[in-house]
Amino acid sequence: RGPEAVTADLSGRHVVISAGGTREPLDPVRYLGNRSSGKQGYALARTAVARGARVTLVAAETGLPDPAGVDVVRIGTAVQLREAVLKAAADADAVVMAAAVADFRPARYAPGKIKKQDDVEQPPLDLVRNPDILAEISADRARPGQIVVGFAAETDDVLANGRKKLARKGCDLLVVNEVGEHRTFGSAENEAVVLAADGTETPVPHGPKEALADTVWDLVAERFS
């Protein structure tokens, strides 16, 4: 961690961070979820506090303790995440979407446990699309000059996918990392490339999630000034 990380270069700024994986309930005992640990979002929250920011953390279920000095808003589903992020973003200088948001949710919530029926082969599950929160806040900034950051976990052609996604989402920065069964999810470490809308690319070598978080805040702080 360099000397720049200990300066309060985010003081007077309000930053909103989403973290963890959303859960989309099917019935009282089941949900659709994902393998996001929430650790990267929590590292972003801790490092932002250390750099002087006021921090709102919109957190899905992670099992992680609330970071000190952070305003934590708990959510479950993507729709709840959207509401909480939009509300907090109204006066935010930066919004970082580190959460893994379910792309689809069950079309209906069954208030009683779903039962299989002996004569029905068809699975009793229809899905509908969730709103794209990152695209929405990027297209409709709550404040002029608000900086919006997304995360993309990719497989295969990681960088090419990332560049397309940055353009499609319309955010200022997209942190792209490669994932697989044994990479990134749940780990305390990460390795990434931060793609910027202005065409710059910042590689972040394998290291603690705090180091990646500090690089994200460096790039955000540059864009404030």
Nearer to ligand CTP by Cβ, of 9 and 194: the residue is: 194
Q: Is 34 a catalytic residue?
A: yes
Tokens representing 59? 């957190």
Report, in Å, the least distance between residue 162 CB and ligand CTP. 9
- Contact window for ligand CTP (CB under 6 A) among 24-32, 56-64, 131-139, 208-216: 131-139
Q: How many chain residues interact with ligand CTP (CB under 6 A)? A: 12
Going by C-beta distance under 8 Å and a sequence separation of 6 or more, which residues neighbour residue 68?
49
Q: Is 138 left (phi over 0), alpha (psi -120 to 50) or beta?
A: alpha
Report, in Å, the least distance between residue 34 CB and Ca ion. 9
Provide the angle, in degrees to the nearest 10, between the axes of the packed helices 39-50 and 209-224: 50
103 assigned binding-site residue: yes
Interface with ligand CTP includes 83 (CB under 6 A)? Answer: no
CA distance 80 to 76: 6
Catalytic residue among 34, 161, 177, 190: 34
Cβ atoms within 10 Å, residue 65: 8
Tokens representing 100? 């893994």
Single residue of 101, 173, 204, 211 touching ligand CTP by CB under 6 A: 101
132 assigned binding-site residue: yes
- Contact window for ligand CTP (CB under 6 A) among 44-52, 94-102, 116-124, 196-204: 94-102
Binder of residue 178, out of ligand CTP, Ca ion, none (CB less than 5 to 8 A by kind)? none
131 assigned binding-site residue: yes
Exposure of 77 by Cβ count < 10 A (0-12 exposed, 13-18 middle, 19+ buried)? Answer: buried
* Cα of 18 vs its chain's centroid, Å: 5
Would strands 189-196 and 127-129 be described as parallel, antiparallel, or unpaired?
unpaired
Q: Which residues are annotated as a binding site for CTP?
A: 103, 113, 131-134, 151, 165, 169
> By the criterion CB under 6 A, which residues form the site for ligand CTP?
78, 97, 99, 101, 103, 130, 132-134, 150-152
Interface residues with Ca ion (CB under 5 A) are 103
The residues annotated as belonging to the active site are 34
